[in-house]
Amino acid sequence: MKEILKTIKRYRVLLIIGMLLLSLLLFVVIFKNKVTNDNYSRKYEKVQSPYLIQEKILDIDLEGTTTNPPKEGKVLKVLSNDLSFYNAFIEKTIGKKEIDYIEGGYFEFSQNEYLIYSPSSKIFSLKSKKGLKGIDTVSSENEVKNLLIENFGIKNIVIYETEKNGLSTKYKGRYKVKDIEFGSSSLNGYSFVINVNSKGKITDLSLLLLTENNVIEYQYLPITNINTLIKNQRYPKVIGQHVIEERYYDKPRSSELIEFYVNKVSLIYIFHDSENSLILPTYILEGEGKVVDTDNDKYWSKTSILICAIDPEYLITREPVKKSEAFEEFGVPYEFPK
């Protein structure tokens, strides 16, 4: 026993250093593989950027806006879709139809009814000039909620806008899954946009095809302030909404957004497409854009831009798809001034 004590005293400094190194190693291993009690990992694995690096420079003015984002945000993964709800809805409202959900595209059912579906953006957009038949009418926010849960299994939603335009009403909102509200870049940050006529019949139903059954927790990632991100004028971004002042449409020409004056910044969660199949923290910037056309005429536009909020250190550059491999994106057409 005395010999053991002598050995410990003789090498106690080395033993203490060894114990400290072992403790540090255990801490690093545990932290690296840590899964929090809310099922989100803190491995901080890099993810693909949802947007492409911009070819052209865009000046963004944030003067007058303030942001105070959290240090990190949640990232969710999107799994494959169960399309049975949508097939059943088409059959109920239009009739039995053959729809290629793998390739997607434009499907015309009659002169007044058609479907646009994109498997990449997961946007399902059903149009009916006279209003869809075979379902209950919609005339309140509660009836919007009933429509989505009964026909599509979408249980939790938050309605952000109820916009009346003459005799029609438009409802816009986001889904809420695992305490996260999220939307689509193809729907200007919303998960659904539903337009009904004066009789409560749906004339336009645009949905992001995601439910709580195909969204799972993934990891936390650091967030960077928007003021830092826009210092790089070519930083990856996408336009969510772009409505140019009415006089432009008298003689529409190719145009380019050259300046953007932001009056509102929000941090939301966005699904962009199936290339990375992630729901990511995203800044949506809303304001007035200056547009120049090919004749060098300038116009003002109501514009919103989406910029991924993740620290660029944890983003992998997205490479553009080769033209020969490109899939024609069937997004939801915006309503421009007549």
DSSP assignment of 44-92 equals: ---EEEEEEPPSS--EEE-TT------SEEEEEEE-----HHHHHHHHH
**Quick one: pLDDT band at residue 25, thresholds 50, 70, 90?**
low
| Residue located via tokens 């009836």 | 143
Pairing of strands 202-208, 192-196: antiparallel
The pLDDT of residue 4: 52
Could you count the other beta carbons within 10 Å of the beta carbon of residue 104? 22
pLDDT above 70: percentage of residues in the chain: 84
The total number of residues written for the chain in this structure: 338
- Write a three-state SS string for 228-264: HHCCCCCCCCEEEEEEECHHHHHCCCCEEEEEEEEEE
pLDDT of 138 > 70? The answer is: yes
d(C-alpha 76, C-alpha 69), whole Å = 18
The pLDDT of residue 323: 46
**Quick one: pLDDT band at residue 36, thresholds 50, 70, 90?**
low
Could you count the other beta carbons within 10 Å of the beta carbon of residue 205? 25
Q: Can you say how many angstroms the Cα of residue 170 is from the centroid of all Cα atoms in its chain?
A: 20
The CATH number corresponding to 84-210 among 3.10.290, 3.90.930, 3.30.310, 3.30.70 equals: 3.30.310
**pLDDT tens-digit series, residues 50-98:** 999 988 889 999 988 988 999 999 999 999 887 888 989 999 999 888 8
The pLDDT of residue 322: 58
List the end-to-end C-alpha distance of the chain, in Å, as a whole number.
95
pLDDT of 334 > 70? The answer is: no
d(C-alpha 318, C-alpha 312), whole Å = 12
Could you count the other beta carbons within 10 Å of the beta carbon of residue 327? 13
The pLDDT of residue 30: 45
**Quick one: pLDDT band at residue 305, thresholds 50, 70, 90?**
very high
User: pTM surpassing 0.85?
Assistant: no
**Quick one: pLDDT band at residue 228, thresholds 50, 70, 90?**
very high
Average pLDDT over residues 270-284: 96
| Tokens describing residue 80 | 């494959």
Segments of the chain assigned to CATH 3.30.310: 84-210
The pLDDT of residue 328: 38
The one-character DSSP state at 208 is E
Average pLDDT over residues 155-173: 94
| Tokens describing residue 174 | 């986001």
